[in-house]
Structure 1
Amino acid sequence: MTSSSSMPTLPLGGSASSEHISRMNLGLMGLTWTDPSHFTPDDEAFATMRASLDAGCRLWDAGQFYGPSVDPHANLKLVKRYFDKYPEDKERVVLCVKGGVDIFGKGGYAEKSMAGMAPVTNVDTLRETLKQIRAELGSDKGGKELDLWEPARFPKAISVEEAIKMYISLRDEGLFKHLSLSEVGGETLKKAIEVSNNGIATVEVEYSPFCMEAESQGVVRICEENKIPILAYSPVGKGLLTGSVRSRDDLPKGDPRLHQDSFSPENFDHNITLADSINRIASERGATAAQICLAWILQRSPIFAPIPGTRKAAYAKENAEAGKITLDSKEVKQIDEILSQFKRKGGRYNEHARNSGSLWA
């Protein structure tokens, strides 16, 4: 492996291309999307966030619902507290926030948890959710601006044209700076690029050695053709590929992974074998398994910008170092051979999520 001296960057897509993000970034979900008793303490969370930023990771990926139903805005509140303590970092961070679901309305997330995650299709309700984000961040009172906003799931109840025009109208009202999309399939993405007049700044989808469906869905190709960065979430298989999760007992109470098929009792032992294979390569190369996964993704396509999450500052630094790693052809071939022989058990998330049409919409 060889390494470069600084974190590479790439421009945002389309009309936002004058702004850049780093190739390696930070996901904030795991800091708060759990039972309140397992929230990461502020001093530990802040150390992780600052370590990642100091290592060159410019984009932070947050969520309006990255908290338990009793405290849905926990993630936004954490971000606000961070910038209250470190206001000088506001201009250093490109903040992306997922939303687009009704948090506090009847039948919404606060009432029904994950069952209340239906995408909002009413412009007035969606405007209110965006105002809620801005209020939590203090955006209109000297707090952090909402740099990127993305609907967490693309609505199926209205056309792509209707949805994109609604999002663009809210952007033009000044509620957020740039539009991102999440969990979209290739056809939706093509239409969105056209309707938005090339106004899609990033696309966020799951991508890792454990999940490469973004390629077969056409998302990677379309993003390459249109120079749109892909925020690759769960780039180390939701922690499964790091080797740190060795059993379901390693997951804390309230952890969303406990309800996902890949982590189910009948599938876990099989799926962990991929982590074992990658760990063997990592130990031979003097790197961590997470670094091997992240470096592999970065070399897979120049438009990938992974957003690994962690609760530990030391791991944030390790992940950032993967942005400087270059795998040689032998290493890439080893990984590709392993992946060609491995067949994951259990689909993405769970049967309800897959049947709802919310994935690859």
Structure 2
Amino acid sequence: MQQRKLGNEGLEVSAIGLGTMMMPDNDESVRTIQGALDMGVTMFDTADLYGSEYQLGRFGENEKLVGRALKDRRDQAVIATKFGITHGQGPKGDPAYIKKSVDASLYSLGLDYIDLYYQHRPDPNIPIEETVGTMSDLVKQGKIRYIGLSEAPAELIRRAHAVHPITAVETEYSLWSREVEDEVLPVLKELGIGLVPYSPLGRGFLTGQIKKFEDLPEDDYRRYYSRFQGENFAKNVGVVSLIEKMATEKGCTPAQLSLAWLLAQGERFVPIPGTKRLERIQENLGAIKVKLTADDLAEIERISPKGVAAGSRFGTF
């Protein structure tokens, strides 16, 4: 498995990780996580907010799943989790909340320390210097090893990094969502911070498996995202068909082409596609072997330029 460095503080992980957000809490998910580790995946991403499939807000449930799956092979895994999204109170980043959250996550995961600890969303009411200062104290206490931010703007990342080195920023990034290229990526490259793209396959759209709205189960959260609705859906399927055509010509799947494009954007980029199935993990890891030439990258840029996706990347819940 190809390894990549996240940040300048010494954290090294597999070139592709695993997002566990949508995994149901069952034995099959345990086998999937353990199977990913067998295949060479070392980066596992969760959050205190994640619960059972399509049920956010069941605090600690997904962390317990990840902890249970990896407890006997702790030394082989890099476990990342997050704090800071609450029910009805907005994002939180005050010291008391952080201290309470890290202890709760350590308990749920069954760990003595967390490898990478993210603030899930910036708290507009707490200076980022105060939040990261508290997280820095957690590093000194040995409760966490590295600090990350999620969905943070460039100016906030710069301020946070001045308090304590930020190892990674997690944000949505894919052929579908390239907003971070404008301001965030230049700052990350300047400061030597790693990027962990979530939803690197456009919430499944870029796999080419979704051809019509009815392909989504009735309880699927993606039905609430504008990119999966009406005219937006029709336009987006058209773009994906072009990606599928190019993938066929390259001898790979659309998912592999999309992930290979992400890997080519930066040496410190580690996407974390989420899946519940081992065969999908194996397919995703195949992206590491897909070599894109300058002509390939130019063609991808032509068929899927920044802003090509119709509709907002956010859902309406």
Do they superpose with TM above 0.5? Answer: yes
- The farther-off stretch of 294-303 and 75-84 is 75-84
Structure 2: which 5+ runs fail to align? none
Q: Secondary structure at the match of 1:118?
A: coil
Q: State whether residues 98 and 134 of structure 2, in contact with CA within 8 Å, keep that contact through their aligned partners in structure 1.
A: no
Question: Which residue number corresponds to residue 176 of structure 1?
Answer: 144
Structure 1 residues 291 and 63: CA distance shift in structure 2, 3 A: same
Q: State whether residues 51 and 317 of structure 1, in contact with CA within 8 Å, keep that contact through their aligned partners in structure 2.
A: no
Question: Which residue number corresponds to residue 42 of structure 1?
Answer: 27
**Which whole-Å CA distance do the structure 2 matches of 1:178 and 1:343 have between them?**
35
Question: Which residue number corresponds to residue 118 of structure 1?
Answer: 90
Residues 64-107 of structure 1 show CA distances to partners (whole Å, capped at 9, x for unaligned) of 111125733221121122134xx0x21111000122234xxxxx
**Which whole-Å CA distance do the structure 1 matches of 2:197 and 2:127 have between them?**
26
Question: Which residue number corresponds to residue 65 of structure 1?
Answer: 49
Please report the RMSD computed on the Cα atoms of aligned residues, expressed in angstroms. 2.1
Aligned letter for 1:242?
T
Question: Which residue number corresponds to residue 108 of structure 2?
Answer: 136
Question: Which residue number corresponds to residue 24 of structure 1?
Answer: 16
Question: Which residue number corresponds to residue 92 of structure 1?
Answer: 76
Q: Residue 40 of structure 1: CA displacement?
A: 6.2
Q: State whether residues 274 and 342 of structure 1, in contact with CA within 8 Å, keep that contact through their aligned partners in structure 2.
A: no
**Which whole-Å CA distance do the structure 2 matches of 1:12 and 1:238 have between them?**
23
Aligned letter for 2:94?
N
- Is 2:142 the counterpart of 1:155? no
Paired residue total? 314
- The farther-off stretch of 253-262 and 173-182 is 253-262
- Is 2:166 the counterpart of 1:200? yes
**Which whole-Å CA distance do the structure 2 matches of 1:282 and 1:83 have between them?**
34
Question: Which residue number corresponds to residue 8 of structure 1?
Answer: 2
Q: Residue 253 of structure 1: CA displacement?
A: 4.7
Equivalences for 1:314-329 in 2 at 5 Å?
314-329=279-294
Q: Residue 169 of structure 1: CA displacement?
A: 2.5
Q: State whether residues 178 and 307 of structure 2, in contact with CA within 8 Å, keep that contact through their aligned partners in structure 1.
A: no
**Which whole-Å CA distance do the structure 2 matches of 1:348 and 1:90 have between them?**
34
Q: Pick one of 224, 228, 234 that aligns with 1:263.
A: 228
**Which whole-Å CA distance do the structure 2 matches of 1:26 and 1:341 have between them?**
25
TM-score (norm 1): 0.81
Quick one: higher RCO (CA 8 Å, sep 6+), 1 or 2? 1
- Is 2:213 the counterpart of 1:248? yes
**Which whole-Å CA distance do the structure 2 matches of 1:170 and 1:100 have between them?**
15
**Which whole-Å CA distance do the structure 2 matches of 1:48 and 1:117 have between them?**
34
Q: Residue 58 of structure 1: CA displacement?
A: 1.4
Q: Residue 12 of structure 1: CA displacement?
A: 2.9
Q: Pick one of 273, 276, 285 that aligns with 2:241.
A: 276
Residues 29-73 of structure 1 show CA distances to partners (whole Å, capped at 9, x for unaligned) of 121xxxxxxx36422x23322332223221111111111257332
Q: Secondary structure at the match of 2:22?
A: helix
TM-score (norm 2): 0.91
Structure 1 residues 341 and 297: CA distance shift in structure 2, 3 A: closer
- Is 2:313 the counterpart of 1:345? no
Q: Residue 293 of structure 1: CA displacement?
A: 0.3
Residues 196-250 of structure 1 show CA distances to partners (whole Å, capped at 9, x for unaligned) of 2xx211111111011111111x221221222221001111111111012223333
Structure 1: which 5+ runs fail to align? 1-6, 32-38, 103-107, 109-115, 353-361
**Which whole-Å CA distance do the structure 2 matches of 1:125 and 1:94 have between them?**
24
Q: Pick one of 256, 264, 279 that aligns with 1:299.
A: 264
Kindly, what percent of the aligned residue pairs are identical? 31
**Which whole-Å CA distance do the structure 1 matches of 2:198 and 2:142 have between them?**
27
**Which whole-Å CA distance do the structure 2 matches of 1:57 and 1:271 have between them?**
30
Q: Pick one of 176, 181, 197 that aligns with 1:215.
A: 181
Structure 1 residues 254 and 335: CA distance shift in structure 2, 3 A: same
**Which whole-Å CA distance do the structure 2 matches of 1:97 and 1:250 have between them?**
31
Q: Pick one of 56, 77, 87 that aligns with 2:64.
A: 77
- The farther-off stretch of 165-174 and 181-190 is 165-174
**Which whole-Å CA distance do the structure 1 matches of 2:56 and 2:295 have between them?**
47
Structure 1 residues 22 and 315: CA distance shift in structure 2, 3 A: same
Structure 1 residues 71 and 326: CA distance shift in structure 2, 3 A: same
Question: Which residue number corresponds to residue 358 of structure 1?
Answer: none
Q: State whether residues 175 and 306 of structure 2, in contact with CA within 8 Å, keep that contact through their aligned partners in structure 1.
A: no
